[in-house]
Structure 1
Amino acid sequence: SAGFARYDYALRNYKDVYTGGSRSVGYVRNTDREKQYARSIVNQQISNQLSKNGISISKQADLVFSIDPYTYQLTVSGNADRDILSQIETLLNEGDNAKNIWTHAWICMHDADNEIVNSQANMTKTNQYSLWHEVYETTGYDARNATYKNGTFIAEDGTDLLALFKEKSKNGAGYELYSKRWLQYAKNGWKKENDLVLKIGFDSSGLYDIGQERGYGATQNMWMKGISQSIFEASV
């Protein structure tokens, strides 16, 4: 439909799985309908990739894709044959597939007002995620491996990372924000439980959301039609 015209360009030559992030409104602030539309595209793409590689998903299959927020490495668990799980994992770790599925899941974890509505995520995790990427993209170093010494962070090779971060930061305000946030880790270190690892379910109907009331999976989206899932279930 005309409302989704802006997606056409992105999809025309899309090699990897589509994220659903519309360029015009930034990555997260998408309407519910846009997210629903993106979900149908992502499902179609995953389905095409599976069938192209001769992988079929049984009606009983119930899988979980778990994606690391730093390396975007995707792991698959669930009730399918180990060979199948391994094949799907290999396939979805090609190119930017896993990163884009992470991004799509992340977009769907926000409501139309950009608030997080999923129990897997919170601001602490979000801040840790953005800090890591900011440091990595600016310096090339993994902040998790740095040691706090005398008011700065020292990399394993002895580099003063705060100094390098300051030198390479594109703007002072960004440096102030992230260096202050980073120094808060000096006391407690990098907490693994605050890593923004995202899980999203997958079955024969496609992806479904885990940890939120209003999902975009095939059996989760009754609320999109103006009927809330709970009312619908209560009347059955």
Structure 2
Amino acid sequence: MRLNRQFIRTQLIAQNILSKNAPAKRENATENPAAVLEKAYSRLKSQSSTGGINQFNYSKTSVSGNSGTFSKVYQSANDRTVTDTGEETVIQSQNPYESESDIRIKILDEKYSRMNAINKTKSDPLGYIKDKYQNSKSPYFRSDLSAAERQAAYDNETEWLFKGKAQNYNLQDAVFRNVTFHGEVEAENEKVYQRGQVNQQLQVLLNRNHIHIPEGTELTFTITPIDYQVRVSGTDDQDLIKQIEQVLQSGDNSKELFLHIMKSQSSDSAQFSEEAYKKYQAAREMYEVTGYHLKDLEVIDGRYVTPEGRDLMDVYKEELEKDPVQKQTASYAISYYRSELSKIAEAGYNAIPDFILSIDYSNGSLRDVGQSKSYGTGDTGWLEALKRQTGVNY
């Protein structure tokens, strides 16, 4: 059996401690072997790196007070500075991000890979796990853990034992004692992070093109769907407006900014209309797959028809079926968009408002409009209030 290298070192330390204590044991009561191993493991951990996830100590004496450490791990994982790579499209609506959930899984993977290595050295690994978490009379019993934490440890260790690696975790683990998580806060944290990245990317784009926006200038960027044309307002400097519009419309920058605005919308956004959004979805899908824009096509008998006289949905189906992967689900897409196009044709394309999105810009940051939540620099006091309200402490 190949043992975990760190576990082997732990066992050697434990043996040394036992050897040094041998004379005392003959004269005094013997020390609990589990306690000796625990001391050795704690000593080994104290000697290891204190950076990142390794700051989490899994010994009996260090399962509390982890909120500060988790915060450091989270901040470190998402500390990314945007640099100019020279690519035409700089703005990205979705940037690499490690969520709180991602980090929790990493922490638990590290913890239980080690615990699993220890458990598998026992003649009866399952019995050993049960002793630790279910048998209060066992010398290995983890009385220092709460009932919920023991259940979590039992669930997680047996997952590793039976499956080789956990596919599901019980998150009431002791390693997260005193750390409070909340789903809404996690979602909002990611939006704040994405805004920070897009702010940096926009600045890279401006710097590359030697565009300086004076401090205190309050601009609004308005983007139309499908063609993603940008209109800048808020200043009388027409040269500045022209420069910004030109650089934002290079590559896919305006499209990515449009998608970023869309992903940053809150539930009370005045910019969001379900009818306009569905029109945008259908028009974008047709344009990206077939190359035809709905607004340019004629409607005959309730169907959009190409200049060549073909039913647009026939062209759409033909294009989807060229791709072996898309062909498998083409029937679902065709059914859905046929229905959506029928609704648009019946109402009239221009009768349904376009999904036009705007965002403000000032002092180096994009700032949301028409909603209660803004993710711009210095605009997130509402998120701190939400954290206090929900008890989130990292």
> Cα deviation per residue 1:22-70 (whole Å; 9 max; x = unaligned)?
6899xxx981111111111111221232233222112231111111110
User: Does residue 221 of the first structure (1) align with residue 295 of the second (2)?
Assistant: no
Asked whether the equivalents of residues 203 and 364 of structure 2 are also in contact (C-alpha less than 8 Å), the reply is no
| TM-aligned CA deviation for residue 160 of structure 1 | 2.1
**Aligned-partner Cα distance in 1 for 2:253–2:277:** 21
> Cα deviation per residue 1:173-208 (whole Å; 9 max; x = unaligned)?
111111011111222210365211110001114100
Asked whether the equivalents of residues 62 and 80 of structure 1 are also in contact (C-alpha less than 8 Å), the reply is no
**Aligned-partner Cα distance in 2 for 1:17–1:109:** 18
Asked whether the equivalents of residues 66 and 197 of structure 1 are also in contact (C-alpha less than 8 Å), the reply is yes
Match runs of 1:158-177 below 5 Å: 158-169=309-320, 170=327, 171-177=330-336
Higher helix share: 2
Give the equivalent residue in structure 2 for 1:149. 300
Asked whether the equivalents of residues 84 and 204 of structure 2 are also in contact (C-alpha less than 8 Å), the reply is no
Structure 2 residue ranges without an equivalent (≥5): 1-71, 100-183, 321-326, 388-394
User: Does residue 103 of the first structure (1) align with residue 262 of the second (2)?
Assistant: no
Q: Cα RMSD (Å) of the superposition?
A: 3.0
State the percentage of identical aligned residues: 28
Give the equivalent residue in structure 1 for 2:206. 50
**Which amino acid letter does the alignment assign opposite residue 304 of structure 2?**
F
> Cα deviation per residue 1:126-179 (whole Å; 9 max; x = unaligned)?
111110122122222111222221342212332321222233344111111110
CA distance change for structure 1 residues 11 and 125 in 2, over 3 Å: closer, same or farther?
farther
Asked whether the equivalents of residues 125 and 195 of structure 1 are also in contact (C-alpha less than 8 Å), the reply is yes
Larger radius of gyration: 2
Asked whether the equivalents of residues 146 and 154 of structure 1 are also in contact (C-alpha less than 8 Å), the reply is yes
User: Does residue 201 of the first structure (1) align with residue 275 of the second (2)?
Assistant: no
Give the equivalent residue in structure 2 for 1:18. 92
> Cα deviation per residue 1:108-132 (whole Å; 9 max; x = unaligned)?
004xxxxx43111121111111101
User: Secondary structure of the equivalent of 2:222?
Assistant: strand
Structure 1 residue ranges without an equivalent (≥5): 111-115, 229-236
CA distance change for structure 1 residues 7 and 193 in 2, over 3 Å: closer, same or farther?
farther
Asked whether the equivalents of residues 313 and 334 of structure 2 are also in contact (C-alpha less than 8 Å), the reply is no
CA distance change for structure 1 residues 136 and 227 in 2, over 3 Å: closer, same or farther?
closer
**Aligned-partner Cα distance in 2 for 1:211–1:139:** 34
**Aligned-partner Cα distance in 1 for 2:255–2:288:** 15
| TM-aligned CA deviation for residue 213 of structure 1 | 0.4
Give the equivalent residue in structure 2 for 1:63. 219
Query: TM-score with structure 2 length normalisation?
Result: 0.50
CA distance change for structure 1 residues 42 and 192 in 2, over 3 Å: closer, same or farther?
farther
| TM-aligned CA deviation for residue 6 of structure 1 | 7.7
Higher strand share: 1
**Which amino acid letter does the alignment assign opposite residue 74 of structure 1?**
V
Q: Which has the higher contact order (CA 8 A, sep 6+)?
A: 1
Aligned residues between the structures:
220
Query: TM-score with structure 1 length normalisation?
Result: 0.81
